[in-house]
Amino acid sequence: MDSNLYTRRIRVRGTVQGVGFRPFVYVIAVSEGLKGTVLNDGEGVEIILQGTKEQQEVFDRRLKKELPPLASVDSLDEAVVEYPVFSSFRIIESRSSAVKTTIPADAAVCKDCLAELVDPSNRRYRYPFINCTHCGPRYTITAHIPYDRPQTSMKDFPMCSLCHKEYTDPLDRRFHAQPNACWNCGPQLALKDKDGNLIETDDPIAETFKLIKKGAIGAIKGLGGFHLVCDALNSQTVRELRKRKNRPSKPFAIMTANAKSAKRFLVIDQEAKNLLESSAAPIVLCPKKDRTDELLDGIAPDLSTIGLMLPYTPIHWLLFFEAVNRQPHYPLASEEVPLYLVMTSANAGGEPLVINNKEAEEQLQGIADFYLEHNRNILIRCDDSVIRSDLSEPTKIIRRARGYVPKVTKLPRKVPSCIATGSWLKNTACVSKEDSAILSQHIGDLDRVSNCTTLSEAIEHLIETFDIHPSIIACDFHPDFFSTRLAEDLADKYGAKLFPVQHHHAHIASVMAQHGLEEPVLGVALDGVGLGTDGTSWGGEILLVDPSGFLRLSHFKPVALPGGDKCAKEGWRIAAAFLAKHGNRNLARELFPNRNVQMIFHLIDSNFPIPQSSSLGRLFDMAAALLRVKDFSTYEGEAPVLLEYAAKNKNGRFLREMVKRENGILNLDEFLLHLAQRQDTAEAAADFHTTIASAIAEELIEQSTKAGITKICFSGGCCLNNLMIRQIKNALKHQKLKIYESTEVPCNDGGLSLGQLWVAGMANVIEKE
């Protein structure tokens, strides 16, 4: 061997499979005159590189600077090794080994594929499943790692000679693009009527477009499940969809071809545009313009924002292509397109997202007028991700699913292999592999058997896919949750230690895990409900948290919840009980003439034990009822959202004299009684937000001074209230405090499993130290 040559083995871990990483390495290596091999295995990508020092240094620089769009590198290890002289650089077959890599997330159609899709001269012109190494389905079609075609639902579609040639050419954009296919060999569409009978048509896309424009409601199969779709400008159809889905006021998301098209209705700032056009293509909540509710009647009533997404599958793009009469090479991604679609998850009343054709025809009967199906199986249910973008606040993920799963959260240190089963609402699961935490897709609320089954399946898929051998099973502190019982079963199955974690402790730990915090912090946990260590319901807490545990420092004075969990939707119950307790029964009768307040009075008078809660979420529900904003919510969080909307154009006041802070308890009784007497709803709503925010800030300053802690972590569903959070931060801005929030995972219960995993993992590390 030439003495100037030396050989390195380079181990690359991260999202490096199914993203064009091997051909990327091949092109650099060949162009720089290097020899060797590159392959996929369970750990990621292994590169054997032979060349001079100068060649290898150039390779390293280019590797870091020119990564493919969907690739990300978590770690890169190298060692000089002895190897015979290579004659060339080759891509070789994948090799099985212990799994330390991850599957890429599903990715929106890239610009190159979109250009081909609308090019009449291209052989994939209008092909509904066009993709390449830079885009298309990944996680939702994958059963196992390594990410190769036989491990995906594309194994049912043998490639034709032309597709195979692309697939095996290292210089082709479709080299080892596992879903690679075309009209001749790939998946196909089928259009069916409301009864599941095949509609004879040569062009399912064109027929679908015609049906939508005529006012029909369709079920369209996508990447992670079906959508219910209709014309967003047809208010009559939108009302019919609400009626059929029994969804009286919960907002719908809409899809437009591009940001320019959406600007007719919505304010799209640069951050929102970047999110919308990213490969993840989430739903982004964007502010309405003045005439939005008139133009999009019934889409998001009484709210200040609408959820917007852009097309992310070829099927979506083809519908918009129809809207411009198939003008060749029309710039669909940048020029206005006259089509505005409702796109909402296709499920019936809280059931899991529908993913297969038969399931759709059975569960959506009576809702959908037609079905646009295809024969590529969806292996993993994965709903659309939802993000709240606000230039004045960090981007907040509300629902983490398609496009973001299974992206890894890097932990600040290695922890034992762990499975965390999450909570009751907005459930997710999480698994750990050394210093990586992998959060599942959004599962939903565990109030029905189907969602419980989906959680069990999601955990088994994570275990099998990432080769997890758990020594710890973490779960919520509440013994009656399905997720807790599942954790008990998993602990028995794997001979693992069961580790219950208090709900709000887990909320704060999720922020610590994301930001790599191991020192003591003050945690502000603000949500609807979580079982406390004293057996009562918590939800408005200031905690001292460190790796060894937590201490409850402060909380809101508990309020009575007559009817228990019913109060999450029926804020009038909390308000009536509060007024009765303080001698204001006539006001309760006046505020809630159509509610059974007498039943509440009877409970108070009989001294029947009524659950108590320190939850800020329940205080918001009560305030919304007292201020005549909303006393009965038709979907979770409706009353607090409307209360925030009511306050948005007013400057609130801090009514400090009406708030009592004693021994760590924030007593708002006098303030809430005052609010009930107010006539100007908007001003009262603004005062409520400002007073709550300022009281929390003052308590934080006091507790920070006492404990000598300057790092503050915010978590819990109430932290999605930007008005309140912004005011808390403003009240703290002159203090020497560092604020941390959830950005990579939801601050609501969707991020709880990450916190459970971090608490359990750190406890094990401390125990061994």
- DSSP labels for 381-400? --PBPEEEEETTEEEEEEE-
CA distance 449 to 463: 21
* Residue that is last in its domain, among 91, 112, 134: 91
Q: Is the pLDDT of residue 558 over 60?
A: yes
Of the candidates 642, 92, 697, 722, the one whose C-alpha atom is nearest the C-alpha of residue 394 is 722
Is residue 767 classed as helix, strand or coil in its secondary structure?
A: helix
| The two structure tokens encoding residue 394 | 């960090």
10 Å Cβ neighbour count for 195? 9
Of the residues 8, 22, 138, 552, only one is catalytic, namely 22
10 Å Cβ neighbour count for 534? 8
The confidence score (pLDDT) of residue 608 equals 85
Of the candidates 93, 91, 95, the one whose C-alpha atom is nearest the C-alpha of residue 26 is 91
Q: What is the pLDDT averaged over residues 2-14? A: 86
Is residue 81 classed as helix, strand or coil in its secondary structure?
A: strand
| The two structure tokens encoding residue 224 | 């992670």
590 and 671 assigned to the same domain:
yes
588 and 735 assigned to the same domain:
yes
DSSP class per residue in 123-189: TTTT-TT--BTTBB--GGGB-SSS--GGGBGGGGSPPPHHHHHHHT-TTSTTTT-TT---TTTS--E
User: How would residue 231 be classed by pLDDT, with cut points 50, 70 and 90?
Assistant: very high
C-alpha distance from residue 621 to each of 67, 210, 582 (Å): 48, 44, 18
Using omega within 30 degrees of 0 as the cis cutoff, is the peptide bond preceding 611 cis?
no
- Alpha helices, DSSP H, located in 32-169: 53-65, 111-117, 161-167
750 and 677 assigned to the same domain:
no
Q: Supply the Cα-derived Rg of the chain in whole angstroms.
A: 28
| In a domain? residue 121 | no
Q: Is the pLDDT of residue 99 over 60?
A: no
The confidence score (pLDDT) of residue 689 equals 98
Give the tens place of pLDDT for each residue, 652-681.
Answer: 999 999 999 998 999 999 999 999 999 999
Asked if residue 741 lies in contact with residue 728, where contact means CB atoms within 8 angstroms, the answer is: no
State the CATH number of the domain containing residue 238: 3.90.870.40
> Catalytic: 40?
yes
Higher local confidence (pLDDT), 272 or 72 = 272
Region of 393 please: left (phi>0), alpha (psi -120 to 50) or beta: beta
Q: For strand 370-374 and strand 612-613, is the pairing parallel, antiparallel, or unpaired?
A: unpaired
| In a domain? residue 167 | no
Ranges 136-150, 202-216, 460-474: which has the least confidence: 136-150
Q: Is the pLDDT of residue 96 over 70?
A: no
Of the candidates 163, 161, 155, 165, the one whose C-alpha atom is nearest the C-alpha of residue 180 is 163
CA distance 526 to 297: 33
733 and 752 assigned to the same domain:
no
Give every CB contact of residue 758 below 8 A, 6+ residues apart in sequence.
411, 415, 437, 509, 510, 512, 513
What is the 3-class SS of 22-84, one letter each residue?
A: HHHHHHHHHHCCCEEEEEEECCEEEEEEEECHHHHHHHHHHHHHCCCCCCEEEEEEEEEECCC
Q: Is the pTM of this model over 0.85?
A: yes
C-alpha distance from residue 530 to each of 543, 621, 674, 733 (Å): 14, 16, 28, 29
411 and 337 assigned to the same domain:
no
The sign of the dihedral angle between the CA atoms of 88, 90, 96, 99 is positive
The confidence score (pLDDT) of residue 100 equals 54
DSSP state of 656: G
The confidence score (pLDDT) of residue 395 equals 86
* Residue that is last in its domain, among 91, 111, 137: 91
Q: What is the pLDDT averaged over residues 705-720? A: 97
Taking each helix axis from N to C end, the angle separating 638-647 and 722-732, rounded to the nearest 10 degrees, works out to 60
Which residue matches tokens 């025809």?
361
Q: How many domains does the chain have?
A: 4
Asked if residue 385 lies in contact with residue 407, where contact means CB atoms within 8 angstroms, the answer is: no
CA distance 523 to 543: 5
Q: Is the pLDDT of residue 348 over 80?
A: no
Q: Is the pLDDT of residue 344 over 70?
A: yes
Give every CB contact of residue 692 below 8 A, 6+ residues apart in sequence.
616, 619, 668, 724
State the CATH number of the domain containing residue 608: 3.30.420.40
| In a domain? residue 409 | yes
| In a domain? residue 126 | no
CA distance 119 to 322: 14
The confidence score (pLDDT) of residue 555 equals 98
Strand partners, 221: 226
Domain assignment of residue 404, given as a range:
400-519+745-768
Is residue 646 classed as helix, strand or coil in its secondary structure?
A: helix
Which residue matches tokens 């992310």?
312
User: How would residue 594 be classed by pLDDT, with cut points 50, 70 and 90?
Assistant: very high
591 and 662 assigned to the same domain:
yes
Q: Is the pLDDT of residue 31 over 80?
A: yes
Using omega within 30 degrees of 0 as the cis cutoff, is the peptide bond preceding 412 cis?
no
pLDDT > 70: what percent of the chain?
98
Of the candidates 516, 271, 405, 446, the one whose C-alpha atom is nearest the C-alpha of residue 746 is 405
Q: What dihedral do alpha carbons 663, 666, 670, 672 form, nearest 10°?
A: -160
The sign of the dihedral angle between the CA atoms of 306, 307, 310, 313 is negative
Of the residues 8, 13, 40, 388, only one is catalytic, namely 40
Q: Which helix (H) or strand (E) holds 130?
A: none
Residue 9 burial (10 A CB sphere; 0-12, 13-18, 19+):
middle
CA distance 684 to 623: 9
Amino acid code (one letter) for 485: R
Q: For strand 305-309 and strand 341-345, is the pairing parallel, antiparallel, or unpaired?
A: unpaired
565 and 666 assigned to the same domain:
yes
Q: For strand 612-613 and strand 660-662, is the pairing parallel, antiparallel, or unpaired?
A: unpaired
Of the candidates 127, 168, 134, the one whose C-alpha atom is nearest the C-alpha of residue 149 is 168
Q: For strand 436-439 and strand 738-741, is the pairing parallel, antiparallel, or unpaired?
A: unpaired
Q: Which helix (H) or strand (E) holds 740?
A: strand 738-741
Of the candidates 61, 80, 74, the one whose C-alpha atom is nearest the C-alpha of residue 10 is 80
The confidence score (pLDDT) of residue 318 equals 98
State the CATH number of the domain containing residue 502: 3.30.420.360
State the CATH number of the domain containing residue 31: 3.30.70.100
Of the candidates 272, 404, 321, the one whose C-alpha atom is nearest the C-alpha of residue 744 is 404
The confidence score (pLDDT) of residue 202 equals 95
∠ Cα 592 594 595 (to 5°) = 70
724 and 764 assigned to the same domain:
no
10 Å Cβ neighbour count for 338? 12
Of the candidates 53, 768, 726, 6, the one whose C-alpha atom is nearest the C-alpha of residue 396 is 726
531 and 505 assigned to the same domain:
no
The confidence score (pLDDT) of residue 20 equals 85
Give the tens place of pLDDT for each residue, 609-653.
Answer: 999 999 999 999 999 999 999 999 999 999 999 999 999 889 999
Strand partners, 229: 218, 343
Q: Is the pLDDT of residue 102 over 80?
A: no
Average pLDDT, the chain: 94
DSSP state of 516: T
Which residue matches tokens 């929030």?
741
What is the 3-class SS of 495-511, one letter each residue?
A: CCEEEEECHHHHHHHHH
The confidence score (pLDDT) of residue 542 equals 98
Neighbour-count burial for 95-121, b at 16+ CB within 10 Å, e otherwise: eeeebbbbbbbbbbbbeebbebbbeee
Of the candidates 132, 101, 91, the one whose C-alpha atom is nearest the C-alpha of residue 115 is 132
| In a domain? residue 455 | yes
> Catalytic: 126?
no
Is residue 633 classed as helix, strand or coil in its secondary structure?
A: coil
The confidence score (pLDDT) of residue 764 equals 82
| In a domain? residue 114 | no
417 and 461 assigned to the same domain:
yes
Q: Where are the beta strands (DSSP E) in 547-591?
A: 549-556, 559-560
Of the candidates 115, 12, 124, 123, the one whose C-alpha atom is nearest the C-alpha of residue 68 is 12
Of the candidates 84, 91, 76, 175, the one whose C-alpha atom is nearest the C-alpha of residue 133 is 175
* Residue that is last in its domain, among 71, 91, 111: 91
C-alpha distance from residue 214 to each of 211, 234, 237, 311 (Å): 5, 9, 10, 21
493 and 531 assigned to the same domain:
no
C-alpha distance from residue 376 to each of 80, 156, 401 (Å): 44, 8, 20
Q: What dihedral do alpha carbons 691, 693, 695, 698 form, nearest 10°?
A: -140
511 and 534 assigned to the same domain:
no
DSSP state of 427: B
pLDDT > 90: what percent of the chain?
85
- Alpha helices, DSSP H, located in 277-382: 292-295, 314-323, 357-363
